């Protein structure tokens, strides 16, 4: 394992961008760059296994495991089901590949590859950056539900509205950022959550078009 290579940021020429919340660009590295970096860092001595693929009505989730230098990292990747104007899924194969690719990239990030892009790609860091030897367990970030804070019912309602809109997690975060200067929806109070819900309902009533990609809230 070559730590220096692992922690080295991707070259600017490798990076791409796509529209995120409300047109805000998201910078990312393609699958090819992650594979090349794994080969370079581990001398081709690594493997990738797809543990499970689950296809829901609106989302495909792939559980992926990457093993390198005797250390295994497992993560879940996801992809919103692409539908035509009639609402029919028409490229499940490509959507499944995208979910697997997402899971693979997240596993690579657990090894330390591409961490400089993590804030753009994922808001939850499942493992400490210092846990390079695989001895520490994943630690998902949790947000406490304080008195007066957003309720579970409101979270469920926001998730349902997001699904009905065909929006991504980032789209909802972007709206929260516009309204309250925070992308952490779980930290909103009940009044703020009600405002966010009302704004989502306005977009739904107006027939807002589907966003490009989606993930579980």
Task: Tell me what pLDDT residue 211 has.
Answer: 38
> How many Å apart are CA 1 and CA 169, to the nearest integer?
34
Rounded average pLDDT over 32-38: 94
Pairing of strands 16-19, 25-28: antiparallel
3-state SS of the chain: helix, strand, coil percent to 5?
Answer: 45, 20, 35
Q: Where are the domains of the chain?
A: 3-121, 152-205
CA 56 from centroid of its chain's CA atoms: 17
Task: For residue range 59-84, list pLDDT tens digits in order.
Answer: 899 999 999 999 999 999 888 888 87
In CATH, what is the architecture of 3-121?
Answer: 2-Layer Sandwich (3.30)
The enclosing H or E element of 49 equals strand 46-55
Token code pair at residue 55: 């296809």
Task: For residue range 145-181, list pLDDT tens digits in order.
Answer: 334 678 888 888 899 888 888 888 888 888 888 888 8
Q: What is the CA radius of gyration of the chain?
A: 18
Residue 131 has pLDDT above 60, yes or no: no
Give the contacts of 39 (CB within 8 A, at least 6 positions apart): 46
Rounded average pLDDT over 7-32: 81
What residues are paired with 111 via a beta bridge? Answer: none
Residue 35 has pLDDT above 90, yes or no: yes
Task: Tell me what pLDDT residue 9 has.
Answer: 92
pLDDT mean across residues, the chain: 78
> How many Å apart are CA 200 and CA 164, to the nearest integer?
10
């Amino acid at each position: 394992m070559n730590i220096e290579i692992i922690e080295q940021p991707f070259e600017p020429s490798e990076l791409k961008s796509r529209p995120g919340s409300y047109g805000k660009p998201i910078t990312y590295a393609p699958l090819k760059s992650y594979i090349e970096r794994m080969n370079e860092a581990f001398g081709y001595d690594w493997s990738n296994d797809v543990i499970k693929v689950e296809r829901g009505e609106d989302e495909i989730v792939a559980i992926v495991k990457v093993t390198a230098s005797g250390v295994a990292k497992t993560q879940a990747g996801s992809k919103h089901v692409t539908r035509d104007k009639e609402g029919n899924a028409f490229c499940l194969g490509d959507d499944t590949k995208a979910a697997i690719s997402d899971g693979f990239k997240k596993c690579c990030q657990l090894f330390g590859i591409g961490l400089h892009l993590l804030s753009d790609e994922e808001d939850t860091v499942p493992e400490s950056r210092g846990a390079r030897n695989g001895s520490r367990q994943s630690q998902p970030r949790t947000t406490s539900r304080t008195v007066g804070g957003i309720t579970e019912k409101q979270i469920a309602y926001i998730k349902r509205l997001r699904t009905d809109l065909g929006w991504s997690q980032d789209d909802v975060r972007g709206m929260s950022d516009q309204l309250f200067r925070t992308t952490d929806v779980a930290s909103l109070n009940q009044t703020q959550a009600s405002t966010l819900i009302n704004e989502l309902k306005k977009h739904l009533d107006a027939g807002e078009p589907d966003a490009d990609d989606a993930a579980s809230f």
